[in-house]
Structure 1
Amino acid sequence: MDPVEALRELGGVAPFGELIALTSRPQILAAMAAGSILKPRHNRYCLADAGDTHRAVARTGGTASHLSAAQEFGWKLKHDPIRPCITLPRSARKPKGAYELHWADLSDRELRRNVTSRTRTVIDCARAYDFDVALSVADSALREGIVDRDDLLLAAARSPRTGRAKALRVAREASHLRANPFETCLYVIALTVLGLSVVPQGRVPGIGFVDLLDRILGIVIEAESLEHHWTKAGLQRDVDRYTAAARLGLVVVRFTWTEVMFHPEDVAAAIADVVRWRTVQAVGRHALVA
């Protein structure tokens, strides 16, 4: 896989171990030489457009915020910001240039560091963006381990009234258990399916942890990446794992990154069909007769 595409699938940023699993060392070196990916620090690779934020901060005199701040922290995102996200003091004039601009009161620390705080960044994203984009940011923040869910809940409760309900929803649903935006976005889709109740990283005896698990209906939902499945050994692990699931009476539904990111309606429809038939099996045919 091309390193740029690999980084997009991995959330825009990744250590060498994650990136090499989807591509090769010569491809990584070639992409770095071409300037399409960057290595901002040891064992950290990112897409080249992440560097636009520093130039935007210098030109506007503002502070990196929202998705750009999340990039600065090295968090995995559903997608990179289309334009650099900059927050300006309320008294500042609108600068020239293609930026995603916001105005707010900024702390001295944020002004000195040219980036909004971690907790504020999560809440800003929750108030500004769609649920799946914002939850991907929140999950990444929790995985980093510097802020916790209580920090987010408190900040959400204290946030401005406009967008507060969105911020509270993100804070309540945020979890460090989801490994990346791929799993987060699959979880968000699952939340839209009536009759389904999933937990992330559910443990199944004899199988281990699965991405999403509905224990009542016996449904396993997996976010499938090439990272673990493109070798003979990976194929054998798949066969063993899903045979074991079938022997336990579980239904396993698997989706690719492309399906989850670009065809969420199809993913939701497929899950809904499985939920419908598992409900029929669980409570009898007459339960779903309209």
Structure 2
Amino acid sequence: MSDVVRFLTQRGGFATRGQVLEATGRAQFDHAVRVGHIVWVSRGRYGLPGLDLDVLTAHGLRAVLSHTSAALWHGWEVKTLPGTTHVTVPRRRRLATPPTAVVHRSDLGPDDVVGGICTSAHRTLLDCLRTLPADEGLTIGDSALRHGVRRDVLTDLGATVRGPGRPSVLHVVRHADGDAANPFESCLRAIALQVEGLDVRPQLRIVGSRATVRPDLVDRRLRIVLEADSFAWHGDRAALRRDSRRYNLLVVDGWTVLRFSWEDVMHDPAYVLDVIRRVVDARTQVLASTGRPA
């Protein structure tokens, strides 16, 4: 896997040209475009190939893009790029499902479809949040807000959702945050939300004694920082040195800094959860012993 493809995969399938150039360099970017490893998506944005195939699949089945395929169509990043195209067809319609598609059945209304090819933002969020695991749902909720979906769309979902999947929808409605930087960070926050007593917020500014930094996730009360450390942000030695210095300065100022790799967050969340819980317990005991509110 090339560095450019790895970078886009870790960002949920999309990135701006500037982001790709900063992470991988001009030569690798140009090569990836030339050989078709990445494709132009919209003004200044590039993505992994396959999105156009989703549209062709939906057209061929006389269906509507839905669920994670619809999220990608709207330009939202996802935790994991789907290997098949998700579409929705009317409940009573007979359809031989090809191996390249996952068919969902629902009688969509006129307001549920945009462009004649994809479920609306409101319907896409409802479908995704009902059916996806917590980390994938939070990733899409964060991304939708980050890319311009109004908060009241999620609020309306929370007020009107009924039936299966309602708790999952309400969880994302409560915690989705447009300040989240990327799917990696969203997935780390989804794990942190399972830890009692921890209240992390994305991209909060910390004014330290020697520097002002904006870590990925911050709990001000416990003075805990969680960092999603990825190749995408440490593409060269200068970036690694810069971040190492800022982490050290946070520790000097009394913060506990936990750094997690993309592989652990995505593939070994139990390890990540255990580490965070142990640190939260330790910090809570320290606060209690010093008489500060725990």
Whether TM-score is above 0.5 comes out as yes
Q: Give SS of 1:222's match.
A: strand
The worse-fitting range, judged by mean Cα deviation, of 110-119 and 10-19 is 110-119
Matched ranges for 1:1-290 at <5 A: 2-98=3-99, 99-108=101-110, 110=113, 112-145=115-148, 147-206=149-208, 207-284=212-289
How far 1:41 moved relative to its partner?
Answer: 2.9
1:243 shift after superposition: 2.9
Deviations 1:265-290 (A, max 9, x none): 111112122122222322239xxxxx
CA displacement at 1:111 relative to structure 2? 6.5
Contact 1:120–1:155, Cα closer than 8 Å, also in 2: no
Letter in 2 for 1:252: V
Deviation (angstroms), 1:105? 2.2
Compute the displacement of 1:245 (Å): 1.1
Q: Structure 1, residues 49-70: CA drift from partner, whole Å, max 9, x if none?
A: 2222112111110100111111
TM-score (norm 1): 0.90
Q: Indicate how the Cα distance of structure 1 residues 112 and 247 shifts in structure 2: closer, same or farther if over 3 A, else same.
A: closer
Between the aligned partners of 1:277 and 1:210, the Cα distance in structure 2 is 21
Deviations 1:166-192 (A, max 9, x none): 112111111101011111000011112
User: How many residues are paired up?
Assistant: 284
Change (3 A) 1:112 1:14: closer
Whether the aligned pair in 1 keeps the contact of 2:129 and 2:168 (CA below 8 Å) is: yes
Would the aligned equivalents of 1:153 and 1:168 in 2 still touch at CA under 8 Å? Answer: no
Name the % identity: 38
RMSD: 2.0
Structure 1 35/237 Cα, relative in aligned 2: closer, same or farther at 3 Å? Answer: closer
Q: 2:201, 2:243 → 1: CA distance?
A: 21
Give 1:249 shift: 0.8
What is the identity, as a one-letter code, of the residue corresponding to 1:225?
S
Q: Is the 8 A contact 1:219 1:250 kept in 2?
A: yes
How far the C-alpha of 1:87 sits from its partner, in A, is 0.8
> Unmatched 5+ residue regions in structure 1?
286-290
Please give the per-residue CA displacement for 1:94-126, whole angstroms capped at 9, x wherever unaligned: 333021111122233617521011121111100
Matched position secondary structure for 1:48: coil
Counterpart Cα distance in 1 of 2:158 and 2:90: 21
